[in-house]
Amino acid sequence: MSSSTAMSLLATSGARLPPLPTIRDLVRLYKLRAIKQLSQNFLMDERLTNKIVRAAGNIQNNYVLEVGPGPGGITRSIIKMCPRHLVVVEKDRRFLPTLELLSEASKDFLRMDIVRGDILEYHMAAAFPECSNMDWQDKRAPVHIIGNLPFAISTRLLVNWLREMSLQTGAWSYGRSSLTLTFQKEVAERIVAPILAENRCRLSVMNQIWSRAELKFLIPGKAFVPKPDVDVGVIHIIPLKKPLTIVHFDIVEKVVRHIFSMRQKYCRRGVANLYPPDVREELTELTFRMADVDPLARSFQLSTEECLRIAEAYDLLTKSKPDIRHYNYRAPKEKVVVEAI
């Protein structure tokens, strides 16, 4: 039987790994314990790891990158769905023996690469050399990023990935690759928060500009070892075919961050800090006039489109004024002289 026929048969019913110790047994065998400083929490329940992988959609014969696999709970569930190529990126060397065990057990029906490194530094564009690049406007790329993210870096990772998504680099050089990730429940709810929601924030707006994010389900904290103080949300993110703006990600992120920097004050207060003191009042008023946005609204009352109009006005006003564009109100105070517009 050819390897492709074998893969097809395995994919039909789900791959069957040879008998292996359970994740719980492996954790005991290798004396693995979660390190609090690395925000590690193990998910042992196979029903839940299967559910996370199913939330990613059909990964059969596709390419999967798993972030922080730890002892390999989610990894097993991914393998059972028969991807063509699985790459796992793990920083902690203690987990290599359990991951190598899975790689060896599944070598007859998939390629599994184990990368020991920091996901913040990993070059995802090189993960799948055999994967053809898809046209962004065509169907989604057969690439999926899946992971039980460390809480300490989850927001930073997401913002980094949204930036790469906007630039169509990294994992998005293949096309519209998807993300299926765990976050603290509070963060997960912020990511999908609509206008007027109490927890609407920078993450909500940035996601809605470049992607469609869906909160698939919640996992109680007691399902993890050790038990975190919070429940966990599983988010599935698909890039939009047509992003809501053509303004560069860095400009939009800067403006949206300022808009939400003073949640309970008028949004005018945060936007004003984009400009040096000597032109602040004039340019802030002009920004809101150009954007046709109420300067007395609170940030959470602004739609994604209104936030974008503010960013676009700022972008337009500062294109010919680099001193304004590079101004940082938190930096040590220096005299900045800018001609009035």
9-39 per-position pLDDT tens digit? 444 446 677 677 676 766 665 565 655 555 5
Interval 202-237: pLDDT, tens: 999 999 999 999 999 999 998 887 778 899 999 999
Whole-angstrom Cα distance, residue 240 to residue 65? 20
Identify whether 7 is part of a domain. yes
**In this predicted structure, what is the pLDDT of residue 25?**
64
Range of the domain at 266: 249-325
Residues 214 and 278 reside in one and the same domain: no
Residues 60 and 107 reside in one and the same domain: yes
Residues 227 and 266 reside in one and the same domain: no
Residues 218 and 71 reside in one and the same domain: yes
Structural domains in the chain (count): 2
Residues 121 and 232 reside in one and the same domain: yes
Check which CATH number belongs to the domain holding 54 and give it.
Answer: 3.40.50.150
* Domain end call among 220, 239, 258: 239
Whole-angstrom Cα distance, residue 288 to residue 277? 17
Residues 233 and 184 reside in one and the same domain: yes
CB 179 within 8 A of CB 119: no
- Rounded mean pLDDT, 98-122: 95
In the sheet that holds 63-67, the strands lie side by side as 111-116, 85-90, 63-67, 143-148, 178-184, 232-239, 211-219
Interval 151-174: pLDDT, tens: 889 999 999 999 999 999 999 999
Identify whether 105 is part of a domain. yes
Instruction: Look up tokens 């936030």; give the residue.
Output: 307
Identify whether 99 is part of a domain. yes
Identify whether 338 is part of a domain. no
Say yes or no to pLDDT of 127 above 90: yes
**192-198-199-200 Cα dihedral, nearest 10 degrees:** 60
Buried b (16+ CB within 10 A) or exposed e, 41-78: bbbeeeebbbebbebbeebbbbbbbbbbbbbbbbbbbb
Residues 258 and 320 reside in one and the same domain: yes
Q: At residue 101, what is the residue type? A: L
Identify whether 336 is part of a domain. no
DSSP state letter for 111: E
* Segment (H or E) for 215: strand 211-219
Whole-angstrom Cα distance, residue 71 to residue 99? 7
Residues 72 and 156 reside in one and the same domain: yes
Residues 192 and 316 reside in one and the same domain: no
Residues 36 and 185 reside in one and the same domain: yes
Identify whether 333 is part of a domain. no
Confidence (pTM): 0.89
Within 8 A by CB and 6+ apart from 202, the residues are 253, 256, 257, 259, 260
Residues 123 and 267 reside in one and the same domain: no
Identify whether 206 is part of a domain. yes
Check which CATH number belongs to the domain holding 255 and give it.
Answer: 1.10.8.100
**In this predicted structure, what is the pLDDT of residue 226?**
74
**In this predicted structure, what is the pLDDT of residue 11?**
47
Identify whether 244 is part of a domain. no
Say yes or no to pLDDT of 54 above 70: yes
Average pLDDT, the chain: 89
**In this predicted structure, what is the pLDDT of residue 163?**
98
Q: Which two tokens stand for residue 302?
A: 């602004």
Residues 74 and 157 reside in one and the same domain: yes
